[in-house]
Amino acid sequence: MKTRYSFGGDEHIFVEVDEEMSMEAFFKSLSMTTAVRESKINGVTEICPANASLQVKFDPDVIKPDDMLAILKSLEANAESADAELDTRIVEVPAYFNDPWTRETLMRFRERHQDPSGTDLEFAARINGYGSVEEFIAAYHGSPWFVSMVGFVAGLPFMYQMVERERQIEVPKYLRPRTDTPKQTIGYGGCFACIYSVRGAGGYQMFGITPMPIYDPNQEISYLRDFMVFFNPGDIVKFRPIDRAEYDHLLGEVEANRFTPKIHDVTFSLAEFHNDIDGYNHKLEETLNGS
């Protein structure tokens, strides 16, 4: 992969690690982001990581743009030689697929969709070669997901499926964005899953909903009191399918402030993952379940 650097005026440098999203591109961009932060470069005011890129904002009165560029290129050389390991965490997210709320919403916006005659799940299952919605949902929650960036709206995670490229789910966004999306909708666009942290406009396909809040600006939810945003880049997500009865129960637990997500610390190795993807994913799931 060939890294591309470009200036944004006198105070930004955009670093595009690769034009395609991949685990390797993510790890390299994350390594560079970490290196910039830990180097404490005089003049750097902001670092913004993304799926396979990053942007650095700096004060040109403190450090010249060309000097900033030279430092970034030197950090890239170190990032390429670094071992792709990450101390992170795996998180279980309860997921109510084919729920009535996202279904009602998507039916209100069928004229903006590629297939007005069906649902988002039916469309996604068909274009990905699955024989039924149930098979598609099983593939969706059957493997974990890597949080490659958090943003666009506050707290929204972009997640990349941890399977071989030929098994990647791919679904286009709506032809025209909706003006409404339920809070905590599990969505999909391109090769990325997401969870809508707030209610609002959106263009991703809607597959389900989670009762688990991931953003709380008031920091009143027990597990969000230290920081209002739940996810971090590098988090690993395992969706657990639930039915309506469990959704209602967990929602009651959330409203009573008794819900706590299942979380376990892990060290992720990119080399071990590629050596045996399904086996490594299974080991991650066993770690989450305490096996």
What pLDDT does 23 receive?
Answer: 82
Strand order in the sheet with 12-16: 4-8, 12-16, 53-58, 44-49
- In tens, the pLDDT along 16-66 reads 988 877 888 888 888 888 889 999 999 999 998 888 889 999 999 999 999
Residue 58's SS3 state is strand
Average confidence (pLDDT) over 237-252: 98
Q: Domain extents for the chain?
A: 4-82, 87-288
Residue 166's SS3 state is helix
**For residue 1, is pLDDT > 70?**
no
Q: Which CATH architecture has domain 4-82?
A: 2-Layer Sandwich (3.30)
- The candidate with the shortest Cα–Cα distance to 37, out of 7, 9, 1, 79, is 79
What pLDDT does 80 receive?
Answer: 63
What pLDDT does 291 receive?
Answer: 61
What pLDDT does 49 receive?
Answer: 84
pTM of the model: 0.89
Average confidence (pLDDT) over 73-98: 86
Give the span between the Cα atoms of 57 and 252, in whole angstroms: 43
Superfamily (CATH) of domain 87-288:
Cyclophilin-like (2.40.100.10)
- In tens, the pLDDT along 119-158 reads 999 999 999 999 999 999 999 999 999 999 998 888 999 9
**Helical segments of 129-197, H only:** 133-141
Burial 23-58 (b: 16+ CB within 10 A, else e): bbbbbbbbbbbbbbeeeebebbeebebbbbbbbbbb
- In tens, the pLDDT along 176-208 reads 999 999 999 999 999 999 999 999 999 999 999
**For residue 261, is pLDDT > 70?**
yes
Q: Which residues contact 30 (CB under 8 A, 6 or more apart)?
A: 49, 86, 233, 234
Average confidence (pLDDT) over 244-271: 96
What pLDDT does 119 receive?
Answer: 97
Per the CB < 8 A criterion, the answer to whether 85 and 268 are in contact is yes
Measured in degrees and rounded to the nearest 5, phi and psi for residue 137 equal -60, -40
- The candidate with the shortest Cα–Cα distance to 178, out of 122, 127, 117, 102, is 102
Q: What is the overall mean pLDDT for the chain?
A: 93
